[in-house]
Amino acid sequence: MEQRAEFSAATRRLIAQRAGFQCSVLNCGRLTVGPGPGAADVIDIGMAAHIFAAAPGGPRGTGGLSANERSSAENGIWCCYDHGKAIDTDGGDSFSVADLRAWKRLHEARKSLDMHGTALDNYGLVESISIKSAPAALSGRDIGLGMRNFIAGHNGSGKTMLARLISSVANPHYVAEISNRRDVDIAVRWFDPQTHQVATKGRRGEVSHILDGRPVPYVARPYKTILLSDWYRTRISSLTSLAQFLDVNPTAMRGILNSIPKASGLVKEVRIEKDAVRYVIEHNGRSYHMATDKSGHPPMFNDLVIMEIVGFYAQHHARVEPTFMIIDGFLDRLHTVIQFTALQRLEQLAGQAQLAVISYSPLASQEFQHWNLIHLEDRFHSQRFDPRSPIDLEVQTLSLGSGIMP
């Protein structure tokens, strides 16, 4: 009979540390370590529970994993004693593998934000997307998402398609458009902080949804998605177009724009004249005057200003409901060092918002190793995208400042 795949002391400690010594079960968060009765005493009420069973016949089965895989940190979730025993005993079949993995991912994402001073509070995140059928090279993929994601791959690997599918829960017209070319079947799982899953099907322009096991005509108030793609580069050219893009009214858009100089190290002044928006930005000690209705300034500045506006809005909106900001292709036109600075700024701006940056640049995997890295490949590229290729950093850096709204 196969022995139980127990966690080693080092693995148990790793699972506990990644959870901040708090229970990972949704809406628990109980602290599992603290002072004992004596000055040198510590009480530990935590438990590393198995996601797949420690032994054949246990709750949730072994999932075809070897004993080594079942005793790894990846197969463990840190819990308080009460939840840990409930998960690891015979009655633990009521806890699914999908739920345990999702709770662990959400809890670790919260702890990561806590360390940077941007606690997630009671809000959630998009945990995963499963793609049964879709164009590009995405069919058959299950993609896990974190709070900070970098999606990399060659042209044609499905990066932009993935962005639209993630956004389609709130914007089903993406699935309608895609399904005119090929059938679409996807399932998206998210928290708000309750668990939700929607299965979306697209056939010849018609879209249907099953939300939490029930057919619905559309998904009411899911997570907010802000998809900033290269397509919008020349189309966000006025107060009205900015408001339409962010789905706010012009008065709210004015409030957003007027608040940005207080929080930005790049945008120092904003003036709104009828429908035109004029900016004063500061770069390397020099001031530049820009306007949405005029050209002539460096395109790089326009891209960075738009990202600043979108990031500021996402940061504010995420305090109210789960918000996912997706930046598709904007960074690829910038020099590597400017990309690095822009990524730093996006991470600061995002705050409680979930963030995905889509690019073919290897930068994030080198310098942002705490992000969730997703590699996409297409059938025309047998050589895997190499995130370790050297980066030339010998250029002048761009200072965007580090201030964010309190």
The three-state DSSP-derived secondary structure of 42-71 is EEECEEEEECCCCCCCCCCCCCCCCHHHHC
Query: Of all residues in the chain, what percent carry a pLDDT higher than 90?
Result: 46
Average pLDDT, integer, range 75-80: 96
CA distances from 218 to 121, 186, 244, 270 (A): 27, 15, 21, 38
pLDDT surpasses 60 at 406: no
Residue 271, strand partner residues: 278
Nearest of 125, 221, 130 to residue 169 by alpha carbon: 221
Is residue 78 scored above 60 in pLDDT? yes
Kindly tell me if the per-residue pLDDT of 33 is higher than 70: yes
Asked if residue 264 has pLDDT above 90, the reply is no
Phi, psi (degrees; rounded to nearest 5) at 207: -125, 135
Contact 62, 70 (CB under 8 A): yes
Q: What is the predicted pLDDT for the residue at 68?
A: 93
Give the C-alpha separation, 264 to 243, whole Å: 20
Query: Residue 98's pLDDT band (boundaries 50, 70, 90)?
Result: confident
The pLDDT value recorded for residue 118 is 62
Cα–Cα distance for residue pair 82/79, rounded to 1 Å: 8
Domains and CATH numbers, the chain: 9-115 (no CATH), 126-148+157-222 (3.40.50.300), 226-376 (3.40.50)
- What span, in angstroms and rounded, lies between the C-alpha atoms of 227 and 168? 10
Is 16 a residue whose pLDDT tops 90?
Answer: yes
Instruction: Quick: pLDDT tens for 328-353.
Output: 988 787 777 788 888 888 888 887 78
Looking at the predicted structure, is the pLDDT value of residue 192 above 90? no
Give pLDDT, residue 43.
95
pLDDT, tens only, 122-139:
567 798 999 999 887 898
Q: 40 vs 35, 46, 128, CA distance in Å?
A: 8, 19, 43
- Would the pTM of this model clear 0.75, i.e. be above it? no
Give the per-residue pLDDT at 91.
67
- Give the dihedral of Cα atoms 340, 125, 127, 155; nearest 10 deg: -40
Q: Mind listing the pLDDT tens digit for each residue in 137-152?
A: 898 999 988 888 889 8
Q: Would you place residue 297 in the very low, low, confident or very high pLDDT band (cuts 50, 70, 90)? A: low
Work out the average pLDDT over 187-211: 92
Q: Is the dihedral of CA 347, 263, 353, 116 positive or negative?
A: positive
Decide: residue 156, CB within 10 A, 0-12 exposed, 13-18 middle, 19+ buried.
middle
Q: CA 365 to CA 239: how far, in whole Å?
A: 36
Looking at per-residue confidence, does 48 or 113 come out higher? 48
Question: Token pair 């909106």 is at which residue?
Answer: 317
Q: Which residues, at least 6 apart from 10, have a Cβ–Cβ distance to it below 8 Å?
A: none
**Is 313 a residue whose pLDDT tops 90?**
yes
- pLDDT at site 101: 85
Provide the residue type at 249 as one letter.
Answer: N
Q: What is the pLDDT of residue 32?
A: 97
> What integer best gives the mean pLDDT of the chain?
84
pLDDT at 123: 61
